[in-house]
Amino acid sequence: MPQVLHPTSNDPASNMQSGARIALTGMLVNVVLAAAKIAAGLFGNSYVLIADGIESTLDIGGSAVIWSGLKFASRPPDATHPYGHGKAEPLAAAAVAVGVLLASLGLAVQSVREILTPHHAPAPFTLAVLVVVVIVKEFLYRKVIRLGKNVESTAVKTDAWHHRADAMTSTAAFIGISIALIGGAGWESADDWAALFACVIIGANGCRLLFPALREMLDTAPRGEIVPRVQRAAAAVPGVVEVEKCLVRKMGLSFYVDLHVGVDGEISVRDGHRIAHEVKAAIQAADSRIADVLVHIEPAGS
């Protein structure tokens, strides 16, 4: 029997459902926080809080896109999509990242307008709203990013960084409003400068989220231990002399493997066919996220 190396309990279908559930939870939380921030900003005369609320509103749309993408990606293969629907996952992540970039640009323009427009200082109660937002958002970030890393989901990690960006912009808003309140006359625009700084953070996170999604859509080789794990599992199968040309690509939360296995050139076609099946079984046993393995049998040393 082939040796099972580094088994994992990850199940792509289950992970997709977990990611969709946590995206839905984040969406509901964002609805509450966005409403609270926009209301506090309007009544408390703080544009940075309004901008933060608008960013949270965009997060609602982002979470909805992530949720829809994960639900679609979890569909099984069919006649028109024989490799499944996994590409919907990085596509959703890329769409959200582009939305974040556009939002940062729009908010930056409005922040500059507010800086050039004289207005009153923000109300002190807006600080309490921001403290609650930062605590909730940082908690959500830690919970979602842990799941995203465990299941290696670009979309889930994108959703997590939405929460972290919101916590960072709220922290910037807290600092800006505090400066405006402490500084008094002449410092009323401090919260608008904070909003402008928050836009830079939002834009940087948009870039941070976009490039991994693009790499995945372009079938960039996955990082980490999965390739060595596949090679070790294949090499441990009796009859395998060498393993070469091991290619792995990610499709949603699943992986597809294409590798060449060298065997004794004198064995029969039947034996070669049996070894290929054992190699496939060993690789899929080593990592349950591997949906399919294409094994090319060739004479060793050829």
List, for residues 64-96, the tens digit of each pLDDT value. Answer: 777 777 777 777 777 888 777 777 878 888 888
Residues 36 and 166: beta-carbon distance below 8 Å: no
Residues 129 and 56: beta-carbon distance below 8 Å: no
Q: Which of 157, 267, 145 is nearest to 212 (CA)?
A: 157
Q: Is 83 exposed, middle or buried (0-12, 13-18, 19+ CB in 10 A)?
A: middle
Cβ neighbours for 251, distance < 8 A, ≥ 6 positions apart: 83, 84, 86, 87, 291
Mean pLDDT calculated for residue range 172-186:
80
Judged against a pLDDT cut of 90, whether residue 300 lies above it is answered with no
State the Rg of the chain over Cα: 25
DSSP state of 240: -
Report pLDDT for 295.
92
pTM, full prediction: 0.61
DSSP state of 122: P
Helix axes 125-151, 12-44, angle to 10 degrees: 170
Classify the C-alpha dihedral 26-201-132-185 as positive or negative.
negative
Q: What are the φ and ψ backbone dihedral angles of 298, each rounded to 5 degrees?
A: -145, 160
Residues 159 and 144: beta-carbon distance below 8 Å: yes
pLDDT in tens, 32-62: 888 888 888 888 877 677 777 777 777 777 7
| pLDDT-above-70 percentage for the chain | 90
Residue bearing the bigger pLDDT, 193 or 12: 193
Domains of the chain in start order, with CATH, are: 12-217 (1.20.1510.10), 226-299 (3.30.70.1350)
Mean pLDDT calculated for residue range 176-191:
77
Q: What are the φ and ψ backbone dihedral angles of 163, each rounded to 5 degrees?
A: -65, -40
Residues 27 and 159: beta-carbon distance below 8 Å: no
Name the band, by pLDDT with cuts 50, 70 and 90, for residue 15: low
pLDDT in tens, 188-246: 677 778 778 878 877 887 887 788 888 878 877 777 788 889 999 999 999 988 988 88
Residues 255, 256, 258, 263, Cα dihedral to 10° = 80
Long-range CB contacts (within 8 A, 24+) of 82-85: 83/251, 83/256, 83/291, 84/251, 84/252, 84/254, 84/291, 85/252
